[in-house]
């Protein structure tokens, strides 16, 4: 166990939380601890992972939005300006062509378009992006192709372009319909317009429709949240996700600890009430996930997004993160101008990296599951190939003795949510990771 004081541990975890971009599918080592890395590290890691037969997916990060919502914690994201789209599409084409030789003969099983707001792209631009991705990477038959989308930009031509590009599912960001929230959150969509957008998606043949709502936004009442839940459920999307608002990296990151705690408590109460309401309205959840589904067995369900299931993932676009299983995590430059410039010079825009190995991958699975309050044996096995007790029996029993975890028949419950991140970090984080979080970023992949 690394010898580190409580105060330093708190500082290290605060740095980790602030530095965590939303594209990260790596809970450990935290992104803020990764070292400097370049194209050779990234391509070498992928060659090794692919030669070991790893399946993989592609994640494309479109980092632009029409307006920046003050509640949003996504990084990187930028207000869209004229010229951004052309620079993005030209850069993405270059990035795809630079990666093509590494992935020759291999086909992704998943393609995820995230952001930002990828459906800000106009129909012809969406077509151009999808054509490039499909020509270079040739998704495998039956590949899951999911796009994040705002309802404001779901007109029939855009939906048509997404479907023609092979999109099988849309993850639609509604967040809140409260009129007051709209004023301060800058979201202009009305319930009627969002309902019409969902109807168009159904009519145009989108196979799977998911709606995202947020609970515990500053100023949001439980009544307003439950009204949103009821309205969204009335449209009968395949799935509804009830997310807990987090102030970290949002426009509310300066809240006092007490105010942040109160929001968190409110948010948890609201999602519990929302879950009960959705249960009465015919939606079902599996385990602890905040995903509520009309058909939890559907292969298109978020429960089965390959994106979240420990799949190797090549990230494209400014700030995108990549994961070559058993080998590495790496990150693109998050600055769109630098991302474009490197690509124009024929260089992959990789800037940060971290070595991945079995132990780190298992810790990453444990940390991300513990964050949700429960570490199910089956969920851990899906990510890490074994059960938590087989991987870390001694350490988990230690955490149980300290009152942080509780053994349950099919997993480990987090008994002390406040202390668990610190106690888990104390037990599992390597000294080099802690040193890097405290400011000593290594000059090579960690
Ligand atoms: C970053 S957005 C990108 C997609 C799209 N632009 C949107 O607004 O839905 C993806 C998801 O992140 C979640 N999100 C954004 N800000 C958040 C916050 N402060 N706390 C928790 N979740 C947040 C929202 O639920 C949103 O659906
Ligand atoms: S919530 Fe979505 S639309 Fe709003 S700023 Fe964040 S990424 Fe952009």
Nearest-CA residue for atom 7 of ligand 2: 116
SS3 39: helix
Taking residues 73-98, report their average pLDDT.
95
In this prediction the pTM is 0.94
Ligand nearest to the backbone CA of 264:
1
* 69 Cβ closer than 6 Å to some ligand 2 atom: yes
Provide the CATH topology of domain 31-307. Transcription Regulator spoIIAA (3.30.750)
Give yes or no for residue 287 having a pLDDT over 80.
Answer: no
More confident call, 19 vs 335: 335
DSSP state of 282: T
Angle (deg, nearest 10), helices 358-371 and 377-384: 140
Residues 383 and 370: their CA atoms lie apart, in Å, by 13
Choice from 116, 188, 317 to test ligand 2 binding pocket (greatest atom count within 8 A of CB): 116
pLDDT in tens, 25-55: 788 999 999 999 999 999 999 999 999 888 9
Look up residue 139 and give its DSSP letter. P
Question: Which ligand 1 atom sits closest to the C-alpha of 148?
Answer: 4
Question: Stretch 305-320: mean pLDDT, rounded?
Answer: 86
Q: Ligand 2: which residue has its CA nearest to atom 6?
A: 72
**Residue 229, CA distances (Å) to 69, 72, 191, 213, 442 in order:** 20, 20, 12, 8, 46
The string of pLDDT tens digits covering residues 376-420 is: 998 899 888 899 999 999 999 999 999 999 999 999 999 988 889
Compute CA distances 435 → 18, 27, 35, 74, 446, whole Å: 16, 17, 11, 26, 11
Neighbours of 440 (CB within 10 A): 11
Average pLDDT score over residue span 106-112: 96
CATH of domain 1-30+358-438: 1.10.10
Q: Which atom of ligand 1 is nearest to the CA of 115?
A: 3
**Ligand closest to CA 175:** 1
End-to-end CA distance of the chain: 19
| Confidence grade of residue 185 (pLDDT, cut at 50, 70, 90) | low
Residue nearest to atom 2 of ligand 2 (CA): 116
In this prediction, residue 183 carries a pLDDT of 66
State the Cα torsion 137-348-72-19 to the nearest 10°.
130
Domains in the chain: boundaries: 1-30+358-438, 31-307
Q: What is the mean pLDDT of the chain?
A: 92
pLDDT band at 22 (very low <50, low <70, confident <90, very high): low
| Alpha carbon distance 279, 317 (integer Å) | 38
**C-alpha torsion sign, points 64, 67, 68, 72:** negative
What H or E segment, with its residue span, contains residue 384?
Answer: helix 377-384
Which residues contact ligand 1 via a Cβ below 6 A? 22, 71-74, 115, 117, 148, 150, 173, 212, 214, 243, 245-246, 250
Q: How confident is the model at residue 256 (pLDDT cuts 50, 70, 90)?
A: confident
């Amino acid at each position: 166990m690394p010898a580190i004081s409580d105060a330093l541990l708190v500082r290290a975890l605060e740095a980790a939380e602030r530095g965590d971009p939303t594209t990260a599918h790596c809970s450990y080592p935290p992104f803020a601890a990764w070292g400097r890395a370049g194209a050779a590290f990234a391509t070498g890691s992928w060659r090794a992972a692919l030669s070991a037969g790893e399946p993989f997916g592609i994640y494309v990060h479109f980092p632009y939005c029409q307006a920046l919502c003050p509640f949003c914690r996504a990084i990187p994201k930028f207000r869209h300006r004229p010229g951004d789209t052309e620079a993005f599409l030209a850069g993405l084409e270059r990035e795809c062509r630079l990666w093509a030789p590494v992935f020759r003969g291999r086909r992704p099983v998943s393609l995820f378009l995230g952001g930002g707001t990828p459906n800000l792209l106009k129909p012809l631009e969406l077509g151009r992006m999808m054509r490039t991705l499909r020509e270079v990477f040739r998704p495998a038959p039956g590949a899951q192709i999911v796009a994040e989308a705002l309802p404001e930009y779901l007109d029939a031509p855009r939906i048509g372009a997404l479907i023609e590009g092979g999109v099988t599912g849309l993850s639609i960001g509604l967040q809140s319909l409260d009129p007051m929230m709209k004023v301060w959150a800058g979201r202009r969509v009305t319930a009627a317009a969002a309902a019409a957008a969902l109807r168009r998606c159904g009519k145009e043949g989108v196979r799977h429709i998911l709606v995202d709502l947020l609970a515990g936004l500053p100023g949001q009442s439980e009544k307003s949240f439950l009204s949103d839940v009821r309205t969204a459920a009335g449209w009968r999307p395949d799935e509804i996700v009830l997310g807990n608002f987090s102030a970290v990296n949002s426009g509310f990151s300066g809240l006092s600890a007490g105010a942040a705690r109160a929001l968190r408590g409110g948010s948890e109460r609201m999602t519990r009430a929302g879950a009960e309401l959705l249960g009465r309205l015919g939606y079902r959840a599996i385990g602890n996930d905040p995903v509520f589904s009309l058909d939890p067995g559907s292969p298109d369900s978020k429960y089965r997004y390959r994106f979240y299931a420990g799949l190797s993932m090549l990230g494209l676009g400014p700030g995108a993160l990549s994961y070559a299983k058993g080998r590495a995590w790496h990150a693109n430059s998050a600055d769109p101008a630098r991302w474009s410039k490197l690509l124009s010079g024929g260089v992959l825009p990789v800037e940060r990296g971290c070595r991945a190995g079995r132990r780190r991958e298992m810790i990453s699975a444990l940390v991300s599951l513990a964050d949700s309050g429960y570490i199910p044996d089956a969920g851990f096995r899906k990510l890490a190939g074994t059960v938590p007790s087989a991987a870390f029996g001694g350490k988990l029993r230690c955490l149980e003795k300290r009152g942080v975890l509780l053994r349950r028949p099919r997993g480990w419950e987090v008994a002390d949510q406040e202390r668990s991140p610190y106690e888990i970090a104390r037990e599992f984080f390597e000294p080099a990771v802690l040193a890097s979080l405290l400011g000593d970023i290594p000059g090579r992949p960690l």
